[in-house]
Structure 1
Amino acid sequence: MALTADLKYELIKLRPSKGELRLAELSVILRFTASVHVINATMVLEAEFESSQLAGRVKSEIKELFGIESRVDILHASGVRKSSRHNLRVVKQADLLVRQTGLYYPTGKPVRGIHSRFVSDSVDVAASVWRGALLAQGSLTDPGRTASLEISCPSNEAASSLVGLAKRLGVAGAKSREVRGVHRVVIREGDDISKLLELVGAAGIQSRWDQLRAKREVRTTANRLANFDDANLR
């Protein structure tokens, strides 16, 4: 999990200068982490995060972009919750927030996937969508036979949107699949993983991942040659 944690830490430190990019990133983070409830006729939005840094980042973005207040509470580990979580909660103006971020249509109907305003926008927005998805539900494993970059998605529609945006970014190897009832987007090709890391702005992790991959390839080649020589000696 070290690569995943370091990837998210690097992405959290990135602050897009354009409002449209910040909005796309925030929208997808909320889409992939938040739930909406109606309590006493009032809409409430809640989102859970493993990282206090990400919870704080989302809280500040909501305030800066929309002037809407939220609070973050710690949910301590207990029972089925193996580790502490950070719960962000919006009560006042949650109905405005879900419309402004594209979680709901103006008619009040929830968006099943990722809002079309972000799916059909520029390449920079597409990269911001992917950055938000990585921050919210992404994982990155070490290079090797099972190397992968994965996103756990809230719906099949959201997964399909991510695959389409990856292709727009030139990452053709992104695939959507359902694993144990969870919709995932998976990238396994090393070049595609490296390219996507570059596009979302994770230059540090990209360099580290490429170095690990190069070492793995050298070691694999050496082992193959050793096995070949051993077979010849027999």
Structure 2
Amino acid sequence: MQNPPGFTEAVRQELANLPVGSATVVAAELAALCRFAGRLQRTGGDPSIRLVLTSTSGAVARRAFRLLQQRYAVRAELAVRAPGGVRRRSTYEVRLADARHIAADLGLVDAAGRPVHAVPEGLDAVRAAAYLRGAVMAAGSFSAPGRPAHLEIRAGSVAVADGLRALLVRELDGPVTLLTDARDRVVCKSGAAIGELLVLVGAPGAFMRWDERRFRHQLRSEANRLANADAANVNRTIRAASAQIQGVEQALQQLGMDGLDHDLREVALARLANPAASLQEIGELLDPPVGKSTVHRRLTRLLRLASEGPSA
């Protein structure tokens, strides 16, 4: 039986199987696929440009092949490279021999054929989502649901990473970090923002899986926090009640029951009879009931009288 794909591959497969959008949406998605998973090759002084798009996901490679065919009516070459050497997995390549006009149309090169690293200008919300979808399919990597939230998109250059980060910040609610190292990557550690991105790019199934696990993890953490807080509150209540009971007993020994006015006598008896009760619960036992601040004031007066002695 075949093992289910990991979460990152499941996201890629869900996105790769989405219906193909309009021409401008396809162009935005292709621009990101080619920028984040592709490379442009030249040979000597030949002005032509060869496009090679590489992915470890067959679904992503087939998506790129299909989009190129629909947008530009070209038939690229789709090849599979078996594992070997440093490659531990099969890799899929989409190759297009004469791709200069496509690279220019997608904003990958300028009119002179020089590389362009900026995000395409003027992306509206729909095309921005398509561009981010292409980036996620091409170079995104997600932590497993239920683990500490982590999304990483490898960009290949600081300029490309910086443009992607700016677009993510514009579209998402959550911190996005640019890491400039050997891989030049954009990182997001906000679980909510990652979930928002999954919905934005068109992966509701992955979002449900992501958010359910994340919610269950948060729920367990919150339950543990509340349990610890409740235990701490109980311990504080017991310590406070113990000190109050000692003070009440001392006051009664020094002053006697007749030496206290009605309010103090009533709260003293209620405290002694209910050693584990909170101040609010003590107040509810009095006649008439009073709030915990009133109980606190009366006990404070009682303890002060005990410390001053009978002469008070």
More displaced 10-residue stretch of structure 1: 16-25 or 139-148: 139-148
- One-letter identity of the residue aligned with 1:209: W
Which residue does 2:29 correspond to in 1?
Answer: 25
CA distance in 2, matches of 1:174, 1:15: 29
Where is the strand percentage greater, Structure 1 or Structure 2?
1
C-alpha displacement of 1:230 = 7.1
- One-letter identity of the residue aligned with 2:6: A
8 Å contact from structure 2 (residues 146, 210) kept in 1: no
- Higher relative contact order by CA 8 Å / sep ≥ 6: 1 or 2? 1
Which residue does 2:100 correspond to in 1?
Answer: 95
Where do 1:214-233 residues align within 5 Å? Answer: 214-227=215-228
Where do 1:189-200 residues align within 5 Å? Answer: 189-200=190-201
C-alpha displacement of 1:134 = 0.3
- One-letter identity of the residue aligned with 1:3: F
TM-score (normalizing by structure 1)? 0.89
8 Å contact from structure 1 (residues 143, 190) kept in 2: no
Which residue does 1:182 correspond to in 2?
Answer: 183
CA distance in 2, matches of 1:101, 1:150: 24
- One-letter identity of the residue aligned with 1:151: I
More displaced 10-residue stretch of structure 1: 60-69 or 31-40: 31-40
CA distance in 2, matches of 1:189, 1:36: 34
Deviations 1:60-89 (A, max 9, x none): 211111122210111111111111101111
Which residue does 1:137 correspond to in 2?
Answer: 139
- One-letter identity of the residue aligned with 1:20: T
Which residue does 2:157 correspond to in 1?
Answer: 155
TM-score (normalizing by structure 2)? 0.68
Of all paired residues, the percent bearing the same amino acid is 31
Which residue does 1:70 correspond to in 2?
Answer: 76
CA distance in 2, matches of 1:191, 1:145: 13
CA distance in 2, matches of 1:2, 1:151: 16
C-alpha displacement of 1:141 = 1.1
- One-letter identity of the residue aligned with 2:207: Q
Where do 1:50-89 residues align within 5 Å? Answer: 50-89=56-95
CA distance in 2, matches of 1:17, 1:96: 21
| Unaligned segments of structure 1, at least 5 residues | none
- SS where residue 182 of structure 1 aligns? coil
Change (3 A) 1:128 1:190: same
Aligned length: 228
- One-letter identity of the residue aligned with 2:179: R
> RMSD between aligned alpha carbons?
2.1
Please state if 1:6 is matched with 2:7: no
- One-letter identity of the residue aligned with 2:61: A
| Unaligned segments of structure 2, at least 5 residues | 239-312
C-alpha displacement of 1:16 = 4.1
- SS where residue 69 of structure 1 aligns? coil
C-alpha displacement of 1:144 = 5.2
CA distance in 2, matches of 1:213, 1:222: 14
Equivalent of residue 38 in structure 2, options 26, 34, 39: 34
CA distance in 1, matches of 2:21, 2:99: 25
C-alpha displacement of 1:171 = 2.9
More displaced 10-residue stretch of structure 1: 170-179 or 182-191: 170-179
CA distance in 2, matches of 1:53, 1:144: 25
8 Å contact from structure 1 (residues 151, 185) kept in 2: yes
Larger Rg: 2
CA distance in 1, matches of 2:52, 2:144: 32
- SS where residue 68 of structure 2 aligns? helix
Please state if 1:206 is matched with 2:207: yes
8 Å contact from structure 2 (residues 20, 67) kept in 1: no
Please state if 1:111 is matched with 2:116: yes
Deviations 1:154-188 (A, max 9, x none): 21111111122122214342221124x11111111
More displaced 10-residue stretch of structure 1: 30-39 or 40-49: 40-49
